[in-house]
Structure 1
Amino acid sequence: MARSERLSFAFLESHPVDAARVLERLAPQNVSALLSDAPLRLAAPVLRLMLPPFVARCLEPLDDEAVSGLLRGMGPQAGVAVLHYLPEARRHALLAQLPTGMGMAFRLLLGYPEDTVGAWMDPRVVVLAGDTPAESALRRLREAQGEIDTMVFVVGTGQRLLGQVELPELLRATPDTVLSQLMRKVRFTLPARASIHGIADHAGWDDFQMLPVIERDDRFVGALDRGVMARAVVRDHRVQPQAGLGDMFANLAGGYWLGVSSLIALAVEMLPVAAPLPDGESHEQPS
């Protein structure tokens, strides 16, 4: 791996917020080139922090297999925000490439306007009936594919939300204790079609990291994490790079970009990142 690539990947890994701001100042085709080479585990977290319209432009030149991989890494909430800015035909092609469960989650979120709670919730939560034993609930949590894997939501007829059980209660319970005996009543819920900005100051955030989301018929459809809510609310506000980077980029803006690797390499040298790895080593995780 070339030194410039090592520096680029180190920057993505060590400073994802700054990397997102840097990449948004580059030409989309240069970002596309970086995305083609960067490991998914480094690229996806940075893409989540970038403006969805710009990410969509960067993904356009990539083939469907590469884009679907990045969308999987970004997750349904951030991925759907990007899909809104891709042509409908491309959107359908990409959805067809996703695993069945994740594809269903993407399609559900696409049905909500981008600025609503429903567009940012996680629909892949663990939902079980009240007569489910604690042992089975723990097994389902271990198999969970969503971001919320520390909470079981208990539902009744018509997917009506009855209560919720947190992981510590499940771990303390005897294996055959059913969820209806462990669950606590839900104090707060969020309407799926409410404005994401309108629920930013909801009283429930004072006590809970995540809140259940319901449709108009009180049907449970997912849960919204407080961190995801905060990112959605501020996604249109630009986070400034670390001290020293802003002036450098402002000076460079009047010229031309020499390529994404050279720019990021320059930025890395101005940040307190770890020393470059010796030649022959990489930041790839061992298989």
Structure 2
Amino acid sequence: MQNNVAELVDTLIVEDLSEKDINRALSDLEPEEVALALESLPLDQRMQVWETIKEEERLDIFVELRGEARALILRELGEDQIDLLFKDMEAEDLLEIDDTLPDRLVDIALKRMNKKQQEYYQQANTYDDDEVGHWIDHDILIASQSIRVSEALRLLKKEISEYSDVIYLVNRTGRWVGCVKFHSLIAAQPHINISELMVEDYPFLTASTDVVKSADAVERSGHIALPVLDDNQTLLGRFDIGSAMEILRETSEGQLMSTAGLNEESDLFAPVKRSARTRGLWLGINLLTAFMASAFIGIFEATLQQVVALAVLMPVVASMGGIAGSQTLTLIVRGLALGQITRSNLFSLLDKELRVGGLNGMVWAVVIGIISAWWFDSFALGCVIGLAIIVNIIMAALSGVLIPVLLDKLKIDPALSGSVILTTVTDIVGFVAFLGLGTLFLI
């Protein structure tokens, strides 16, 4: 897909194509590929290409765009164009993008839906957007557990949606009782009851379950979709592998982007002022933490004036602590995302990381101490930096475990804020340990 998109972007930017040529270039691409290509174009060219896309194809592409790219396109569209764009929208499409739309446009989209789609949308919004009940697919085959195989086979003659390989069985009250595989139906005698073919212990999801955990469950289940039930065991719909992989991809991308203070909805060609405003916030936060570290260095100004070697070696101490801490932080953030870290194993994990930090601290303290002692011809300086390295790497291990866990408890994304806090802690501890020990033993 990446090669297709890259080739298309190069073609659209370099060549002056006609509307017919653009349509031909887009015709073999999936909606998500076209969306990626649009996001890769400067806004003026993006709108030129958008105008050439067939009306019946625009909605699928629009839904695949990132939130910021959607907003930029909407800003350029008139009311009539928006009305046409939303005329065939279904509940699942609106749920995908409603958090990036003004309330006025959400109302327009709802009015264009049929009653069934409106009900699906309202039902989904009884769950938070981090719960799997918000993201279920209703396009499934459902049958009563009391019908015969011959009756069930007639259902297979209908149009079957993607990621379908089972019929979901319910009782008279709509409660889910199990699933029957298509291949079992085809091979079975027509007169037997369909319930005799049910798969034993078929897994299911509860609608209030966290959507990332649900996506992971689908990926690990060995099935292409899992039924989603409410607290009364009523079948609401399903959560399929396509949606699961999209959730996991977006989560991974969101964590990556958040380390830079951005989010997965950011647009490559967003207006300069908007991009500057978004990034400027985190530059300001970083500046505050840098001033905090500088303030602690200032306490030891007299020491630095007398022992210049301390100023030369300070970055080594801070860097070693920062790297050690980021390794632990990355491990813990991943563990939190996968649900591997609990109250029962937290202290064992902390003990293990402290041991790792202590061992690495001692090994690298010796290496750095020897190099520093030889470089500046001072055994005392080698001992000072060695002790500071041990202290800072152990503190980095402690912080790398506790900071993301604490942020997670406070409902703050540890991937977003963890690295900023960790760097501040390791810088301050490293500087204070190094300069403090230098003041004691070298002055």
Instruction: Report the TM-score, using the length of structure 2 for normalisation.
Output: 0.46
Map 1:204-215 to 2 at 5 A: 205-215=220-230
User: In structure 2, what is the equivalent of residue 14 of structure 1?
Assistant: 28
Deviation per CA, 1:130-170: give whole Å up to 9, x if none: 11233333333443575454321011244221110122222
**Partner AA of 1:169 in structure 2:** S
User: In structure 2, what is the equivalent of residue 127 of structure 1?
Assistant: 142
User: In structure 1, what is the equivalent of residue 178 of structure 2?
Assistant: 163
Structure 1: distance between partners of 2:116 and 2:153 = 20
Aligned residues of 1:116 and 1:192 also touching (Cα < 8 A): yes
Deviation per CA, 1:96-129: give whole Å up to 9, x if none: 3223433433333343322321222202322221
Aligned residues of 1:213 and 1:224 also touching (Cα < 8 A): yes
Structure 1: distance between partners of 2:43 and 2:94 = 18
Aligned residue for 2:243, secondary structure, equals helix
Structure 1: distance between partners of 2:73 and 2:151 = 43
**Partner AA of 1:234 in structure 2:** R
Structure 1: distance between partners of 2:134 and 2:47 = 26
Q: 2:116 aligns with which of 97, 101, 122?
A: 101
Out of 160-169 and 41-50, give the one that drifted further: 41-50
Structure 2: distance between partners of 1:63 and 1:145 = 31
Map 1:96-245 to 2 at 5 A: 96-144=111-159, 146-202=161-217, 205-235=220-250, 237=253
**C-alpha distance 63-41 of structure 1, shift in aligned 2 (>3 A):** closer
Structure 1: distance between partners of 2:96 and 2:43 = 18
Task: Select the structure that is richer in helix.
Answer: 2
Aligned residue for 2:211, secondary structure, equals coil
In the TM superposition, residue 53 of structure 1 has moved relative to its aligned partner by 5.2
User: In structure 2, what is the equivalent of residue 281 of structure 1?
Assistant: none
Structure 2: distance between partners of 1:36 and 1:132 = 51
**C-alpha distance 110-37 of structure 1, shift in aligned 2 (>3 A):** farther
**C-alpha distance 152-136 of structure 1, shift in aligned 2 (>3 A):** same
Structure 1: distance between partners of 2:131 and 2:99 = 13
Structure 2: distance between partners of 1:52 and 1:41 = 21
Structure 1: distance between partners of 2:24 and 2:249 = 26
Aligned residues of 2:110 and 2:118 also touching (Cα < 8 A): yes
5+ residue gaps, structure 1:
240-249, 255-287
Aligned residue for 2:212, secondary structure, equals coil
Aligned residue for 2:214, secondary structure, equals coil
Aligned residue for 1:185, secondary structure, equals coil
5+ residue gaps, structure 2:
1-15, 257-267, 273-443
Aligned residues of 1:126 and 1:144 also touching (Cα < 8 A): no
Q: Runs of 4 or more off by more than 6 Å in structure 1?
A: 27-30
1:84 matches 2:103? no
Out of 102-111 and 79-88, give the one that drifted further: 102-111
Aligned residues of 1:12 and 1:43 also touching (Cα < 8 A): no
1:64 matches 2:79? no
**What percent identity do the matched residue pairs reach?**
18
**C-alpha distance 94-131 of structure 1, shift in aligned 2 (>3 A):** same
**Partner AA of 2:19 in structure 1:** E
Higher relative contact order (CA 8 A, sep 6+): 1
Q: Determine which structure has more spread, i.e. the larger CA radius of gyration.
A: 2
In the TM superposition, residue 210 of structure 1 has moved relative to its aligned partner by 0.7
Structure 2: distance between partners of 1:153 and 1:28 = 46
**RMSD across aligned positions (CA):** 3.6
In the TM superposition, residue 49 of structure 1 has moved relative to its aligned partner by 3.3
In the TM superposition, residue 203 of structure 1 has moved relative to its aligned partner by 6.9
